[in-house]
């Protein structure tokens, strides 16, 4: 195993360092093996005294083992010579990579210094694409800088100062905040307005929108002395702020508890059809139908739907919690009688579910699930009575 490890070619300075660490452990391992070999040879000497003739294979194995430490020492010597060559080679290779890195960083610095020329709000998509490319390049250079510094430690060299990478990233941050958020907003807005209404995810929309508004607000402050770019930030922020008031309606109309009866109620209260797949196919239809004017009515119906749905979900959850539960009847010692195993856990769950079901039965939103609640409550109480009778036997 040791010999095989020494024969593995180290192709990076990190692997060279690992190999050197491994070689540093070899003397200790070799010493332990020497002791084993000495014990083995002593046993063979006893056999020699009795003129015991070893089979050819064992005789060969004996002297292979005897020469193993020396073989390892010779291999280590060869490997150390190769390591010295590899170190020089990999160090030269790193120096070339660092020189190329510096040239790339010079080019990136010029691009960032000139990025203020991008001021056209009509070019958001292309500018956003370029910003993402430059942002990716900065992250890659930051990772490379760390790798170079790590390798310089392995080479025993003084670490190169790469603070310029962090400085450029800091300088570019305001461009990232503005143009990436603006690009995101334009893409989101198009998608939200055109995609099927039933695919909208209000919670994620709220999160994305709030974060984008914060970023553009920061960018607006950062570009306070560059009026042309600040105007872009202010315009994008104004567009997002204008969109934001529609979100309560989107959240309400995407309530997972909405059923046909609720869409019927919404259509009745609004005096026109409001139904996914009918009049409500995309977010554009929310504006077309002027549903903002009916927001109070819509939110009220949707909130009721949500509370009804909470009861439905709670009943489903209780049902699922019983699926893995089971009674087990086991012998009680040597008495010839049997007991119910797991009764305490089942009784506790029964009590919890009875209390929960009773609480829901007092809810003003129970009507759609009233029959199911009554049947479920009756079933739980019957189970409780049966178990009490069993345990009393």
Position 204 scores a pLDDT of 97
Report the relative pairing of strands 337-341 and 328-332 from DSSP bridges. Answer: antiparallel
CB-based burial of residue 151 (10 Å sphere; 0-12 exposed, 13-18 middle, 19+ buried)?
buried
Position 16 scores a pLDDT of 83
Position 86 scores a pLDDT of 85
The two tokens of residue 71 are 């073989």
Position 31 scores a pLDDT of 64
CA 233, CA 237: separation in Å to the nearest integer? 6
Q: Between 343-361 and 295-322, two packed helices, what is the crossing angle to 10 degrees? A: 160
- DSSP code, position 274: -
Position 49 scores a pLDDT of 58
Which CB contacts under 8 angstroms, 24+ apart, belong to 64-72? 65/37, 65/40, 66/37, 66/41, 68/33, 68/37, 69/30, 69/33, 69/34, 69/37, 71/3, 72/2, 72/3, 72/6, 72/26, 72/30
Position 389 scores a pLDDT of 83
pTM: 0.74
CA 141, CA 227: separation in Å to the nearest integer? 31
Q: Between 13-49 and 56-113, two packed helices, what is the crossing angle to 10 degrees? A: 170
CA angle 312, 313, 317 (to 5 degrees): 120
pLDDT per residue of the chain (393 residues) written in tens, 0 to 9: 766 777 778 888 888 888 888 777 776 766 666 666 666 665 555 555 556 555 555 555 555 555 566 677 777 778 788 888 888 899 999 999 999 999 999 999 999 999 999 999 999 999 999 999 999 999 999 999 999 999 999 999 999 999 999 999 999 999 999 999 999 999 999 999 999 999 999 999 999 999 999 999 999 999 999 999 999 999 999 999 999 999 999 999 999 999 999 999 999 999 999 999 889 999 999 999 999 999 999 999 999 999 999 999 999 999 999 988 887 888 877 787 777 777 788 889 999 999 999 999 999 999 999 999 999 999 999 988 888 887 776
Q: Between 163-175 and 202-222, two packed helices, what is the crossing angle to 10 degrees? A: 110
Count of Cβ atoms closer than 10 Å to residue 225 Cβ: 7
């Amino acid at each position: 195993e040791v010999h095989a490890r020494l024969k593995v070619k180290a192709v990076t300075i990190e692997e060279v360092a690992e190999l050197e660490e491994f070689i540093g452990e070899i003397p200790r391992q070799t010493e332990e093996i020497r002791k084993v070999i000495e014990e083995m040879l002593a046993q063979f000497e006893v056999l020699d005294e009795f003129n015991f003739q070893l089979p050819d294979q064992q005789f060969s194995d004996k002297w292979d083992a005897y020469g193993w430490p020396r073989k390892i020492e010779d291999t280590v010597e060869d490997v150390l010579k190769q390591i010295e060559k590899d170190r020089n080679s990999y160090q030269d290779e790193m120096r070339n990579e660092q020189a190329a890195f510096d040239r790339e960083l010079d080019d990136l610095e010029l691009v960032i210094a000139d990025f203020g020329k991008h001021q056209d709000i009509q070019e958001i998509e292309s500018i956003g694409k370029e910003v993402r490319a430059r942002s990716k390049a900065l992250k890659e250079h930051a990772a490379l800088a760390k790798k170079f510094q790590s390798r310089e430690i392995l080479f025993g060299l003084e670490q190169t100062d790469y603070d310029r990478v962090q400085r450029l990233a800091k300088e570019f941050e305001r461009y990232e905040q503005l143009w990436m958020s603006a690009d995101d907003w334009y893409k989101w807005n198009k998608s939200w307005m055109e995609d099927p209404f039933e695919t909208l995810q209000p919670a994620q929309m709220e999160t994305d929108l709030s974060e984008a508004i914060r970023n553009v607000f920061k960018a607006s402050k950062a570009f306070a002395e560059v009026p042309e770019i600040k105007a872009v930030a202010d315009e994008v922020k104004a567009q997002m702020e204008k969109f934001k008031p529609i979100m309560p309606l989107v959240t309400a109309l995407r309530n997972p508890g909405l059923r046909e009866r609720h869409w019927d109620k919404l259509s009745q209260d609004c005096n026109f059809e409001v139904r996914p797949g009918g009049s409500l196919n995309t977010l554009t239809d929310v504006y077309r139908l002027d549903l903002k004017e009916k927001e109070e009515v819509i939110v009220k119906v949707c909130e009721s739907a949500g509370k009804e749905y909470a009861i439905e979900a709670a009943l489903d959850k209780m049902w699922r919690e019983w699926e893995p539960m089971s009674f087990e009847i086991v012998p009680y010692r040597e008495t010839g009688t049997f007991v119910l195993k797991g009764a305490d856990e089942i009784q506790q769950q029964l009590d919890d579910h009875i209390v929960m079901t009773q609480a829901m039965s007092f809810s003003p939103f129970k009507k759609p699930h009233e029959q199911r609640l009554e049947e479920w409550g009756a079933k739980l109480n019957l189970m409780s009575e049966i178990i009490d009778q069993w345990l009393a036997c």
